[in-house]
């Protein structure tokens, strides 16, 4: 099953992490999907959206993040069990109980420096390939939240994941970011690259004629494969980034147009994943979600 999606835009602040969070919670709450989020951004935004600061701090102190996994496998050449780095019982949405996370840490940038300095790119790529292959049969959907820019780690995800999804604000700079990304994708085709599952118009202001114009322009380029459903700019989606200490319903967190948009988008994503199986290399089932760490 091809189900691993690198969520990526070379530009920051376009709503990537928010989309990853809301999509994961929607797929869990309304479609019963087991969703793994891999937080590959040193800012750990999506990790912080899914738990309290204290919980995240403890995971970082205990060496339970993607950084620890990569330091041990890539730099120390240890064999470590990836399920031990997967956190469960996350999310403040009471119906989204099947969201899992490999959290991140600021130290990710230091790891990337060590990889570059030591020339360990091949080992990093091999580790990411192995991790993708291991999680693919265990979860229904895997969302990899990438940082802005094109780091060595992001390049690995983009080359090893099945798909990439690009959230894009309907404005000039984001459109330029997409163009840079397209040029990057064309480099070294022999090294492989994820398939474009779609460009997602994010943070769209429904009252802005300029947003509408950029949206139309992006949609008219078939290469973008724009999703029908844009993500609206809304207070609810802005607030979704703040983890609530008490459980709440999906409708309380994503009221009105925010929830309606996320539900429509989740359906589109599932349809495109299903359609993307045509070129699927069959993968062997090796593990189940019950094996992930408590
Ligand atoms: N649809 C939206 N409507 C309003 N604010 C949003 C929306 N999506 C994201 N935001 C806000 O914009 C900022 C950047 O979002 P984030 O998801 O962290 O972007 P990125 O991961 O691309 O850097 C955050 O403060 C977030 O709360
Ligand atoms: Mg982010």
Would you list the domain boundaries of the chain? 4-276
Condensed to tens digits (0 to 9), the pLDDT of residues 16-36 reads 999 999 999 999 999 999 999
Which atom of ligand 1 is least distant from the CA of 231?
1
Query: Which pLDDT does position 244 carry in this prediction?
Result: 97
In a mutational test of the pocket of ligand 1, which residue from 6, 11, 17, 18 has the highest number of ligand atoms less than 8 Å from its CB?
A: 18
Q: How far is the CA of 293 from the centre of ligand 2 (A)?
A: 25
Ligand with smallest separation from the Cα of 44: 2
Q: Residue 289: is its pLDDT beyond 60?
A: no
Q: Is 127 in the pocket of ligand 1 (CB under 6 A)?
A: no
What is the number of the ligand 1 atom nearest to the C-alpha of 20? 17
Distances, alpha carbon 148 to alpha carbons 7, 16, 140, 152, 181, in Å: 10, 9, 25, 12, 11
Pocket lining: 241 vs ligand 1, CB cutoff 6 Å:
yes
pLDDT in tens, 127-175: 999 999 999 999 999 999 999 988 999 999 999 999 999 999 999 988 8
pLDDT in the model for residue 280: 52
Q: How many other β-carbons are positioned within 10 Å of the β-carbon of residue 77?
A: 10
The residue ranges of DSSP E strands in the chain, in sequence order, are 4-7, 35-39, 99-102, 141-145, 163-168, 195-201
What's the whole-number average pLDDT of the chain? 93
Pick the CATH number of 4-276 from 3.90.110.10, 3.40.50.300, 3.90.1580.10, 3.40.50.10140: 3.40.50.300
Q: What is the mean pLDDT of residues 194-205?
A: 97
Q: How many residues does the chain have?
A: 294
Ligand 1: nearest atom to the Cα of 233: 3
Per residue in 215-264, pLDDT (tens digit) is 999 999 999 999 999 999 999 999 999 999 899 999 999 999 999 999 99
Q: What is the percent of the chain where pLDDT is above 90?
A: 85
Say what the pLDDT of residue 143 is: 98
- The one-character DSSP state at 94 is T
Task: Find tokens 């969201």 and name the residue.
Answer: 99
């Amino acid at each position: 099953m091809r189900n691993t999606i690198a969520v990526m835009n070379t530009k920051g602040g376009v709503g990537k992490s928010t989309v990853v969070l809301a999509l994961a919670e929607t797929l869990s709450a309304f479609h019963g999907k087991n969703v793994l989020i891999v937080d590959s951004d040193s800012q750990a935004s999506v990790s912080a959206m899914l738990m309290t600061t204290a919980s995240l701090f403890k995971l970082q102190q205990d060496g339970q993040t993607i950084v620890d996994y990569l330091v041990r496998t890539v730099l120390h050449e240890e064999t470590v069990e990836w399920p031990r780095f997967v956190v469960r019982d996350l999310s403040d949405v009471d119906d989204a109980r099947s969201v899992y996370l490999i959290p991140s840490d600021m130290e990710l940038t230091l790891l990337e420096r060590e990889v570059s300095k030591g020339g360990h790119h091949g080992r990093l790529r091999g580790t990411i390939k192995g991790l993708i292959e291991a999680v693919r049969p265990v979860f229904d959907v895997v969302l990899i939240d990438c940082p802005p820019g094109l780091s060595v780690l992001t390049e690995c995800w983009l080359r090893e994941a099945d798909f990439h999804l690009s959230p894009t604000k309907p404005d000039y700079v984001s459109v330029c970011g997409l163009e840079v990304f397209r040029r990057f994708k064309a480099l070294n085709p022999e090294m492989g690259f994820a398939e474009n599952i779609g460009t997602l118009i994010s943070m769209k202001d429904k009252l802005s004629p300029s947003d509408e114009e950029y949206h139309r322009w992006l949609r008219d380029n078939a290469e973008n494969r724009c999703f029908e459903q844009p993500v609206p700019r809304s207070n609810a989606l802005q607030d979704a980034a703040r983890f609530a200490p008490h459980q709440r319903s999906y409708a309380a967190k994503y009221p009105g147009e925010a929830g309606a948009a996320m539900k429509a988008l989740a359906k589109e994503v599932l349809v495109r994943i299903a359609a993307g199986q045509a070129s699927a290399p069959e993968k062997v089932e090796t593990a189940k979600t019950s094996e992930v760490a408590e």
